[in-house]
Amino acid sequence: MNSITTHPQITQISPISGPVGTTVTILDSGFCILNSVFIDFGTTQTITTTTSSQSGTFSATFIIDSQTLGIKTITVTFDSLLLASNFLLLPSYGTISGRVLDIVTNKPISGATVTTDSTITTTDKDGYYTLVITPTVSVTSSDYYQAAKTVSIGTGNITSKDFSLCPKKLNIPADTWMMFSLPVLSDAIALDKLFETAPDKFKICRWDPQAEDLGEPQMRYRVVDTIEPNKGYWLKVYGEQATITSKGESQEALVPITLYPGWNMIGCPFIKPATIDSTATLWTWTGTEYTTTTQLIPWQGYWVKAETETTIKCRIQNSEFRIQNLEKELSWKIKLYATSGKYKNSYNILGVAKEANIGIDRFDLSKPPAMEGLYCSFDGGLAKDIREEGQDSYTWNLNIQSQSPTTLSWVIEGVPEDYEIWLIDGDKAIDMRKNTEFRIQNSELKIKVMKPEAGLVIEKLEITGVISYPNPSSGEVTFRANLLTSGAGLSAKLYNILGQIVREHDLTPTQGKSWARFDKNTQSYIYESGYSCQNNSNQRLANGLYFFQITASENGKQTSKIGKMVISR
């Protein structure tokens, strides 16, 4: 190894003092040629590295990171040699301002105490503060958990930092259901210990994902007598508002939560916003409607759906959490908004996408079970129902549950102009391109997006004609029925001239509704099915005159029509 000097030394450090964020330059000489050099600063090992030049010198820079204040050692290491020098880490004095808010209500907190290592102030009536700071800022207020943040700010600079404090108590409005959870870890709490002053009448219940599904969602709610951490609950107090208090200590460790197949009610176990390590959509109740979210807020309860029993992990949210926006992949969509009194239902989306599949897929989204007020869903309890692209006609069934008059409005995005868009309410058809809202009359609605030649706007269970062909027939025949609906099931009964049933036959094929085709000339849907002219014992029918009765069934209703056929061999 060749060396140009035997006296390695640090020739310059600039500057020799400063706050976090300062850029430091080191100049050295007397090193071996092209030698690797490692530089440590205080408690940070290898804050930077460099290589000596052909002349045995080097120059390196690094930025001071966050450490305790005072004298720090800069260490330069190469081969087995070590050089050291000192640096004075100073406080970062600058000006910071911000606002302190209630994390649950998002309302400003006045009179909150904001402190640093050396200064103190209080928030004004609108929750704002301004002070000269050192790196750590703490905020306290009566009836709230303390919050602290580390702030990096250069000397003389100005920055802003808002704080959200978690209250130790939660006010419960009277006579309305709300979802809640406890923001701390604790043992199960009896209901008489939950309230600051127990109300005369209240009800607390929780969805039981392990209960038998009997068809009525309300039958899966269970009244509880204790409140447990990590779980969400419905609470309603009657007559006057009440206050509940948190029992337990705040913590920041990762919390496991068990989910069972189907819907689960969970809570935020922290005094800070949190996330779960799952792509499942979180739903919460605002007091007037269900909304989706990507984070859990203290005191609030949440719905999450699981396909199988699993354990998710809940952790404090340290950075913004993003999920894939599948709406960007939709070819077109229609957003529906329902309002009824104080209640709203804003998440109802129908549309098509190139990659959508038949049945439930990644584009579709389920809506949590109903509790009170206004509730809307597509077939299968969906909030979002996306179909495959390329069809001439689409029909969505929309169910609306409400105790008072309801108005439905909509926004159409990207639907091609050659499609008509209709809202079907009973026997009324509302052109959704020419209108933007409608006061609904029925709870069962249809949204039809269709090309004019694709079918009827308003369908009803009515048979307009039946035939069999060829007629007369020597063997195989085809039954044809013209209906004013595209979704009926058909059956046939064959009678001889004595009125005796010789054959009962289900005409509906295995593919179901897809067998009907629209005929523009007759303005009806044509159903056809073959028949081998055999009796119920699979024997050939004798020659002669027969009567056939075609029965159409849909949604529990039936209608029939009779025709004649002749067999002649």
**Token digits of residue 530:** 């073959």
**Token digits of residue 435:** 């209108």
Residue with tokens 């990762």: 254
Residues 172, 242: contact at Cβ < 8 Å?
A: yes
pLDDT single digits (tens) 340-354: 999 999 999 999 999
Sheet holding 463-469, edge to edge: 463-469, 477-483, 524-531, 517-519
pLDDT single digits (tens) 199-221: 889 999 999 988 877 667 777 89
Angle at 362 between CA 357 and CA 364, to 5 degrees: 80
d(CA 424, CA 438): 11
Residues 107, 115: contact at Cβ < 8 Å?
A: no
pLDDT single digits (tens) 371-427: 888 999 999 999 999 999 999 999 999 999 998 999 999 999 999 999 999 999 998
Which domains, ranges and CATH numbers included, belong to the chain?
9-89 (2.60.40.1930), 94-165 (2.60.40.1120), 171-316 (no CATH), 326-454 (no CATH), 463-567 (2.60.40.4070)
Tens of pLDDT, residue by residue, the chain (569 residues): 444 445 788 888 988 887 777 889 998 887 778 788 889 999 998 899 988 888 888 889 999 888 888 899 999 888 778 889 999 887 766 778 899 999 999 999 999 999 876 678 999 999 999 886 666 788 989 889 988 877 766 656 777 888 899 999 999 999 999 999 999 877 788 888 888 888 889 999 999 988 877 667 777 899 998 898 899 999 999 998 999 988 777 777 889 999 999 999 999 999 999 999 888 999 999 999 999 998 999 999 999 999 999 999 999 876 544 555 667 789 999 999 999 999 999 999 999 999 998 888 999 999 999 888 899 999 999 999 999 999 999 999 999 999 899 999 999 999 999 999 999 999 899 999 999 999 999 999 999 999 988 888 988 999 999 999 999 998 889 999 999 998 899 999 999 999 999 999 888 876 544 478 899 889 999 999 989 899 999 999 999 999 999 999 998 899 999 999 999 98
Residues 535, 544: contact at Cβ < 8 Å?
A: no
Residues 101, 109: contact at Cβ < 8 Å?
A: yes
Query: What are the φ/ψ torsions at residue 512 (nearest 5 degrees)?
Result: 70, -130
d(CA 559, CA 508): 15
d(CA 526, CA 466): 10
Question: Cis bond leading into 472, ω under 30°?
Answer: yes
Q: Which helix (H) or strand (E) holds 285?
A: strand 282-285
Residue with tokens 């000006």: 95
Residue with tokens 């043992």: 187
Neighbours of 67 (CB within 10 A): 14
d(CA 224, CA 221): 9
pLDDT single digits (tens) 251-262: 778 899 999 999
